[in-house]
Amino acid sequence: MKTLSVIIPIYNDEISILPFYERAKPVLESLAGVSWELIFVNGCSRDGSLQTILGLRQRDPRVKVVSLSRNFGYHPVIIAGLSSRQSDLYGIIHVDCEDPPELLARFYEEIQRGAQTVYGDRSNRDEAAWLVFFRWLFYWINRQIADAPVRLWMAEFVMFTKVVRDAVLVNKSTFPFLRAELGYVGYRTVALPYLREKRTLGVSHFNFYTLTKFAVGGFLSSSTFPLRAVLYLSALGAVAYLAIVALFGLDFSQAAQLASIASWFFLLLTTPMLALYLARTYKDVSARPLFCVDPEGTSLD
């Protein structure tokens, strides 16, 4: 029997938990030769999510829960779930059923055929045109500047082996970005296209601001190009400055004024960029724990 731990991030998702369970349970029971469990990772929800999970656990001991001491963010919740159990296979899915639980069966089929990572490619999605555009822009930019391959369009809807899980957890960054981590570690990967379903229960925890913050975090976690861009911009600026001085025959005073203005704009563009990476480096060196588990709200036995 292979063991499968399905990680489900939870934050104020009380009304979605039972419908998700009723939909996911028959799918997981259809997997031949698999002993499965659902691990709900509660990011310190303020509604009745924890009570709902504990009530569900009384009916089905395969339901587990890991509660964190506070809301540490989306990716730390996922890392907490992956760190909580030793299994042969790991799955990650959202509780809102926008990512259909039925696709987990197809993920497992591809694992059986030799894939190490299988994820849902959600390149087709019924949503607002402006959101489609900005989502496409995020993925396009990330693909162009990433230092290593990034699993794009996956939305953390994925199944992978213990080998992949162990490789991902080696990274001790305080800013994990699973799509970049899975791309970096490699291994045989299969993408299964699907149409993401519309949310029918609950509300999204993301808005334009949080999506933008998520995108910037993704860029910083997967690429050092912005740092290299400072060097490129310096070289380009120096050449342009000398060309302008020579072309327009600027005297020393005019050249000095131009240099002052150019330097001001250069610092305005590059200092915030360098500060972001410096802040991340400081937090990584500080080595604070990525998450803290609340033992009173955790039940894994």
pLDDT for residue 202: 57
pLDDT for residue 255: 84
pLDDT for residue 128: 66
Check the CA dihedral 244-246-248-251 and report its sign.
positive
pLDDT for residue 106: 92
pLDDT for residue 165: 93
pTM listed for this prediction: 0.78
Which residue do the tokens 């933008």 mark? 212
pLDDT for residue 205: 57
pLDDT for residue 270: 83
DSSP result, 4-34 = EEEEEEESS-HHHHHHHHHHHHHHHHTSTTE
Average pLDDT of each block of 10 consecutive residues along the chain (301 residues)? 92 88 92 91 87 90 90 87 91 87 92 92 68 75 76 82 91 80 86 76 62 70 80 86 84 84 85 83 81 84 77
Helices (H), the chain: 14-29, 49-59, 74-84, 103-112, 129-145, 162-170, 178-185, 208-222, 225-248, 252-286
Check the CA dihedral 284-157-42-27 and report its sign.
negative
Q: How far apart are CA 281 and CA 275, in angstroms?
A: 10
Q: How far apart are CA 158 and CA 154, in angstroms?
A: 7
pLDDT for residue 62: 93
